[in-house]
Amino acid sequence: GESVGLHLPTLSVQEGDNSIINCAYSNSASDYFIWYKQESGKGPQFIIDIRSNMDKRQGQRVTVLLNKTVKHLSLQIAATQPGDSAVYFCAENPPNAGNMLTFGGGTRLMVKP
Amino acid sequence: SQTIHQWPATLVQPVGSPLSLECTVEGTSNPNLYWYRQAAGRGLQLLFYSVGIGQISSEVPQNLSASRPQDRQFILSSKKLLLSDSGFYLCAGEGQSNSPLHFGNGTRLTVT
């Protein structure tokens, strides 16, 4: 069935480096995508979203890239900090699903000091 | 902005006991509300969603039920807990179409 998945379950980066977290989605008709950050023992926190009519969107230290040709979504974090250590989830809004999101399995980002 | 409140933060219950987890929403009227469960180190599984008072849709068959007695209140219940009901339960809400879900801080349920 349609699904959202992640290439790497765990990503370890050095503090100060840039991080790239990837997500593959299979429903080419999905029109809305979101990245969430979840710290231990807390609920997921919205980071950034992007609609299918865009290829790139930037926030503070974060950038989301959407490649509809290969159905790929990525989250780039610039100058990664220890506070960025968390699990990151991508989510998509498939067509005919109303406002419900399909979540990927998550990638754990570990930042080494 | 929308704020989701959940309580309790942690709960330990014996097998066969009842359950009631409450979620309330601030900052939005007539939100769509959701209950998710998250197993340790895993993704989010949608359990229930509600588009209005008294309107509940279930995504997976299970030992749990949900109710929405008020516009900004969403309750997750069970009459008799099973060991497999242990997990991290998250309530989420959204106020507008294609707006991001906002999550509460969850309830860690351990059934012993």
Average pLDDT value for residue range A89-110? 85
Q: Is 3.30.70.580 the CATH number for A4-112? A: no
What is the per-residue pLDDT for A41?
Answer: 86
Closest chain B C-alpha to A26 CA, distance in angstroms:
17
Could you tell me the residue ranges of all domains in chain A? 4-112
Average pLDDT value for residue range B3-17? 95
B78, amino acid identity:
S
Q: Which chain B residues are closer than 8 Å to A51 by Cβ?
A: 98
What is the per-residue pLDDT for B96?
Answer: 65
Instruction: Give the fold, CATH level 3, of B3-111.
Output: Immunoglobulin-like (2.60.40)
- Candidates B101, B102, B107, partner chain A, best to mutate (most A CBs within 10 A): B101
In contact, B95 and A37? CB cutoff 8 Å: no
* Beta-strand pair B3-7/B10-13: unpaired
Residues of chain B above pLDDT 90, percent = 72
- Candidates B98, B99, B110, partner chain A, best to mutate (most A CBs within 10 A): B98
Q: d(Cα B38, Cα A40) in Å, to the nearest integer?
A: 12
Q: d(Cα B13, Cα B31) in Å, to the nearest integer?
A: 30
Q: Give the burial class of A4: count Cβ atoms within 10 A of its Cβ; 0-12 exposed, 13-18 middle, 19 or more buried.
A: buried
Other Cβ atoms within 10 Å of B70 Cβ, number: 12
Q: d(Cα A9, Cα A21) in Å, to the nearest integer?
A: 9
Is B43 in contact with A103 (Cβ distance < 8 A)? yes
Q: Find the chain B residues whose C-beta atoms sit closer than 8 A to any C-beta of A.
A: 4, 6, 32, 34, 42-44, 46, 49, 90, 92, 94, 97-106, 108
A2-58 per-position pLDDT tens digit: 344 444 489 999 999 999 999 998 789 999 999 999 998 899 999 999 999 999 999
Largest distance between two CA atoms of chain A: 45
Encoded tokens for B6: 């959940």
What is the per-residue pLDDT for A1?
Answer: 32
pLDDT band at B99 (very low <50, low <70, confident <90, very high): confident
Distances (CA, A) of B68 to A99, A106, B75, B112: 18, 29, 6, 28
Q: d(Cα A88, Cα A9) in Å, to the nearest integer?
A: 10
A65-88 per-position pLDDT tens digit: 999 999 999 999 999 999 999 999
Question: Nearest-CA neighbor of B7 among B112, B110, B91?
Answer: B91
In contact, B53 and B70? CB cutoff 8 Å: yes
Average pLDDT value for residue range B74-100? 89
Could you tell me the residue ranges of all domains in chain B? 3-111
Q: Which chain A residues are closer than 8 Å to B90 by Cβ?
A: 43-44
Q: Which chain A residues are closer than 8 Å to B105 by Cβ?
A: 41-43
